[in-house]
């Protein structure tokens, strides 16, 4: 053992010094870091038996002891922090981080998460632990389009806009994977490919039928951006079918688009047990052997599930071949090499990351910053911010002390969760009298009808009602134990029992602040009318209570923006099973919303002036530069999310009413101004025709720049007017 340690140390010193590693120093060529990844992969594949090869196509890949290949479990999660593997920093849920409209922040969050991922991996390996949720291949992010607020998993996404989803997703992947020229810090994944957003109850048998226009205009742009810009390492196929073919055995999506058109070089995995759906749910084939062969032959490199053990029998039946297994392995295994998993210990720079980064003070501050920037102020009649020395506060509601309202789904664990109640208690002065009563259950009437809470609301100077939902109500198929629709929401309003509870509070409260938690739109016009101030906090992570209190008491100025439209009610939505984008999202919706996409208020105010477009007439293929002056016209230093929307007014096919094409955060002191510039590229000007082709047409384009979507509803709710201009493509 001593001689082996000396040999490894010598190799490490040689490698770090830039020396050449001799092939004689390794038992097999695949172990030699000096060789190319393709050479190493080819060597390893050539040395495996057929049975060993089939085993490596499973998510829980067994060890091959005779070759010195350790076991590896591909399945890990880090949607908003390393998940399901003990202690980790818990950041706001994905939909909340999208509400920050802050790509720099998102990359920093991804970087922090991957540091913790490496630290946990290093410690696990040192103790011989190689189980599920302990690897470095993370099945994150979820860049499906949140087309319908009834979908319980919409909280995992970055909202309803393809541009916002693309920008936030690219930044997160870049943070997770790092920028080392040789090694990945961790391996990210774009999921669920493609056209996947419910219903949860039907996902194992459902066919999502879409036009080529909707496919390329709405459902694919984020996946394309992650593959072509961020070089995401993995792609996961969805459970459902798309236009007739299972998403984990879809020749067009997996080969024509992903591999050939986009040039994807990473690995493709099935969603977990999705290959079983091919024969038991979709009934495209009759047997597990046929399903295994169909998926393998189409390029599903990895099986999360239990179907690929049937490959050996499928080969005997002539349904596939060992050569096809080899081809899939050569697309799968490079990821393990890019992570450095076959290199001598200590040669990968991330081997030195230790457990001290897990839940570090720096990461907790980052989680709090992300939560602060995610919180959206929807209404404020001058009640906020509160004074810290206010005489008395009554805190009530089912989410005030509810840890699940912080965690969302796919979460890690912390020994220091900060609920809303705890955050408020950390802000108030010693002389402030604070009373607390939960007052109401999450989604059912109180069994005990005695009212001991509305009187408290009347006695306090301010009542803070913490309402909304949690992942007990919305989430994935089997995890939301209080859901009546397998994780989905049939009614997108506030639970009726909470609405009735709030009416009693409102009848007595002098000042009423409502804090809503949730991972999707809550249609609550009655809450908007009753509240003096309304704050939407999403699922804000372990520092959520502190961040909410920072906003309520003015230590942070709200700057979040809605990444989804809040409809007035579910009656304004098309049928849930309909995947057409007609009348969906802010881009195509005809009904006036309760709260528009891109909307959010501040404690200060911002004005826009002097929009310039250059050139006003551009040739095909020419960029247009847009600039506008933004001024803080209020009393607080604050951050503004400047948004650019584009409309093609002379398109030959129907196009979005508005399409987000740029956003920037600017921080301004009162009275200060800044000129913000955007570059509108020819790619942004292209429309998608009925064939799904992107084409640039001549004609006029309208440009809107402001702090919200340029709709009348935004103005009615208090947003500043956008600057509007026009340019022409000759």
Determine the pLDDT at residue 12. 42
| Phi and psi at residue 574, to the nearest 5° | -70, 170
Rg of the Cα atoms in the chain: 27
∠ CA 177-538-161, nearest 5°, is 65
Determine the pLDDT at residue 22. 58
Number of domains in the chain: 2
* Residue at 276 is within a domain: no
551, 666: one domain = no
Per-residue pLDDT at 693 exceeds 90: yes
434, 582: one domain = yes
576, 615: one domain = no
523, 495: one domain = yes
552, 414: one domain = yes
Q: pTM score, two decimals?
A: 0.96
Determine the pLDDT at residue 15. 43
580, 612: one domain = no
583, 443: one domain = yes
* Residue at 584 is within a domain: yes
Determine the pLDDT at residue 250. 98
Tokens 């049975």, residue located: 51
- Looking at the DSSP bridge assignments, the partners of residue 268 are 235
Residues 6 or more apart whose Cβ sits within 8 Å of residue 281: 204, 205, 239
Buried b (16+ CB within 10 A) or exposed e, 607-639: bbeebebeeeebeeeeebebebebbbebeeebb
Write the DSSP string, 106-165: HHHHHHHHHHHHHHHHHHHHHTT---TT-SSBB---B------TT-GGGGGS--S-HHHH
Task: Determine contact, residues 268/191, Cβ cutoff 8 Å.
Answer: no
Query: What's the average model confidence in pLDDT over 676-697?
Result: 97
* Whole-number Å distance between alpha carbons of 556 and 553: 8
* Residue at 479 is within a domain: yes
Determine the pLDDT at residue 10. 37
267-270 β-sheet, strand order: 189-193, 234-237, 267-270
Query: What's the average model confidence in pLDDT over 656-682?
Result: 98
625, 514: one domain = no
* Residue at 620 is within a domain: yes
Per-residue pLDDT at 167 exceeds 50: yes
Band of the pLDDT at 19, cuts 50, 70, 90? very low
Convert the pLDDT of each residue in 344-379 to its tens digit. Answer: 999 999 999 999 999 999 999 999 999 999 999 999
* Whole-number Å distance between alpha carbons of 40 and 251: 28
* Whole-number Å distance between alpha carbons of 565 and 279: 37
Positions marked active-site: 271, 474
Task: Determine contact, residues 603/636, Cβ cutoff 8 Å.
Answer: yes
What dihedral do alpha carbons 407, 58, 224, 100 form, nearest 10°?
10
* Residue at 387 is within a domain: yes
The number of helix segments (H) and strand segments (E) in the chain equals 23, 24
Convert the pLDDT of each residue in 120-163 to its tens digit. Answer: 999 999 999 999 999 999 999 999 999 999 999 999 999 999 99
Query: What's the average model confidence in pLDDT over 456-468?
Result: 97
* Residue at 638 is within a domain: yes
Total Cβ atoms within 10 A of residue 487: 25
Answer with the one of 558, 588, 618 that is the final residue of a domain.
588
Answer with the one of 537, 561, 588 that is the final residue of a domain.
588
Per-residue pLDDT at 477 exceeds 60: yes
583, 618: one domain = no
626, 573: one domain = no
Range of the domain at 704: 606-729
- The per-residue pLDDT of the chain, averaged, comes to 95
Determine the pLDDT at residue 25. 85
367 sits in which H/E element: helix 361-374
* Whole-number Å distance between alpha carbons of 58 and 578: 34
Convert the pLDDT of each residue in 61-104 to its tens digit. Answer: 999 999 999 999 999 999 999 999 999 999 999 999 999 999 99
| Phi and psi at residue 261, to the nearest 5° | -70, -45
Per-residue pLDDT at 3 exceeds 60: no
Determine the pLDDT at residue 4. 38
| Residue 53 token pair | 């090869």
Within a 13 Å sphere around the CA of 193, how many CA atoms are in the beta-carbon half? Answer: 32
Answer with the one of 520, 554, 588 that is the final residue of a domain.
588
* Residue at 112 is within a domain: no
Per-residue pLDDT at 2 exceeds 70: no
| Residue 643 token pair | 């948004």
Per-residue pLDDT at 429 exceeds 90: yes
Per-residue pLDDT at 720 exceeds 80: yes
CATH number for the domain that contains residue 711:
2.60.40.10
484, 370: one domain = yes
* Residue at 583 is within a domain: yes
Task: Determine contact, residues 384/603, Cβ cutoff 8 Å.
Answer: yes
CATH number for the domain that contains residue 440:
3.40.50.1700
578, 612: one domain = no
Total Cβ atoms within 10 A of residue 4: 8
């Amino acid at each position: 053992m001593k001689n082996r340690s000396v040999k490894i140390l010598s190799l490490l010193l040689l490698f770090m010094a830039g020396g050449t590693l001799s092939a004689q120093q390794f038992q097999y060529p695949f172990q030699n870091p000096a060789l190319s990844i393709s050479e190493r992969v080819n060597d390893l594949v050539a040395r495996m038996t057929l049975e060993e090869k089939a085993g490596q196509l499973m998510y829980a890949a067994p060890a091959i002891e005779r070759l010195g290949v350790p076991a590896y479990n591909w399945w890990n999660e880090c949607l908003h922090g390393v998940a399901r593997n003990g202690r980790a920093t818990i950041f706001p849920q994905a939909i909340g981080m999208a509400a920050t409209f802050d790509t720099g922040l998102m990359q920093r969050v991804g970087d922090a998460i991957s540091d913790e991922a490496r630290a946990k991996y290093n410690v696990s390996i040192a103790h011989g632990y190689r189980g599920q949720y302990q690897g470095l291949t993370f099945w994150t992010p979820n860049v499906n389009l949140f087309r319908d607020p009834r979908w319980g998993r919409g909280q995992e996404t970055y909202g309803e806009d393809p541009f916002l989803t693309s920008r936030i997703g690219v930044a997160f992947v870049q943070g997770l994977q790092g920028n080392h020229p040789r090694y990945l810090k961790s391996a990210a994944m774009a999921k669920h490919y493609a056209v996947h957003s419910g219903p949860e109850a039907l996902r194992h048998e459902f066919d999502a039928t879409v036009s080529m226009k909707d496919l390329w205009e709405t459902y694919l742009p984020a996946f394309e951006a992650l593959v072509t810009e961020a070089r995401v390492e993995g792609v996961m196929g969805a459970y459902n079918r798309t236009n007739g073919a299972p998403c984990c055995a879809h020749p067009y999506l997996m080969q024509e688009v992903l591999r050939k058109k986009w040039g994807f070089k990473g690995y493709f995995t099935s969603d977990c047990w999705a290959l079983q759906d091919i024969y038991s749910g979709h009934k495209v084939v009759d047997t597990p052997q046929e399903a295994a062969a169909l998926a393998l032959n189409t390029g599903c490199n990895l099986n999360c599930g239990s179907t690929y053990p049937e490959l050996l029998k499928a080969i005997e039946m002539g349904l596939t071949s060992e050569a096809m297994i080899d081809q899939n392995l050569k697309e799968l295994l490079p990821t393990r090499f890019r992570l450095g998993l076959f290199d001598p210990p200590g040669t990968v720079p991330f081997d030195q990351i230790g457990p001290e980064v897990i839940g570090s003070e720096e990461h907790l501050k980052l989680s709090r910053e992300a939560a602060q920037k995610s919180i959206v102020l929807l209404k404020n009649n001058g009640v906020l911010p509160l004074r810290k020395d206010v005489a008395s506060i009554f805190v009530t509601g089912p989410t005030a002390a509810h840890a699940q309202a912080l965690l969302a789904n796919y979460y890690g664990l912390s020994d220091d969760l900060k609920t809303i109640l705890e955050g408020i208690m950390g802000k108030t002065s010693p002389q402030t009298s604070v009373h607390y009563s939960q007052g109401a259950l999450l989604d059912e009437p109180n069994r005990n009808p005695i009212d001991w809470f509305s009187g408290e609301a009347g006695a306090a100077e301010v009542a803070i009602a913490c309402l909304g939902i949690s992942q007990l109500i919305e989430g994935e198929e089997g995890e939301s134990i209080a859901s009546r629709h397998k994780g989905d929401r049939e009614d997108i309003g506030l639970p009726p029992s909470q609405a009735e509870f709030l009416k009693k509070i409102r009848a007595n409260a002098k000042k009423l602040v409502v804090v809503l938690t949730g991972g999707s739109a809550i249609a609550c016009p009655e809450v908007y009318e009753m509240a003096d101030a309304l704050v939407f906090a999403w699922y804000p992570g372990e520092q959520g209570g502190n961040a909410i209190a920072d906003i309520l008491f003015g230590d942070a100025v709200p700057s979040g923006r809605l990444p989804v439209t809040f409809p007035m009610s579910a009656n304004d939505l098309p049928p849930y099973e309909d995947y057409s984008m007609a009348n969906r999202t802010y881009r195509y919706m005809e009904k006036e919303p309760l709260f528009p996409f891109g909307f959010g208020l501040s404690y200060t105010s911002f004005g826009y002036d002097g929009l310039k477009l250059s050139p006003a007439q551009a040739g095909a293929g020419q960029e247009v530069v847009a600039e506008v002056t933004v001024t803080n016209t209020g009393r607080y230093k604050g951050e503004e999310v400047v948004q650019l929307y584009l409309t093609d007014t002379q398109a030959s096919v129907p196009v979005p009413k508005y399409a987000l094409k740029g956003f920037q955060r600017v921080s301004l002191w009162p009275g200060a101004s800044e000129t913000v510039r955007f570059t509108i590229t020819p790619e942004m000007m292209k429309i998608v025709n009925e064939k799904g082709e992107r084409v640039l047409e001549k004609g006029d384009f309208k440009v809107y720049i402001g702090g919200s979507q340029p709709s009348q509803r935004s103005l009615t709710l208090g947003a500043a007017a956008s600057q509007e201009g026009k340019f022409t493509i000759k």
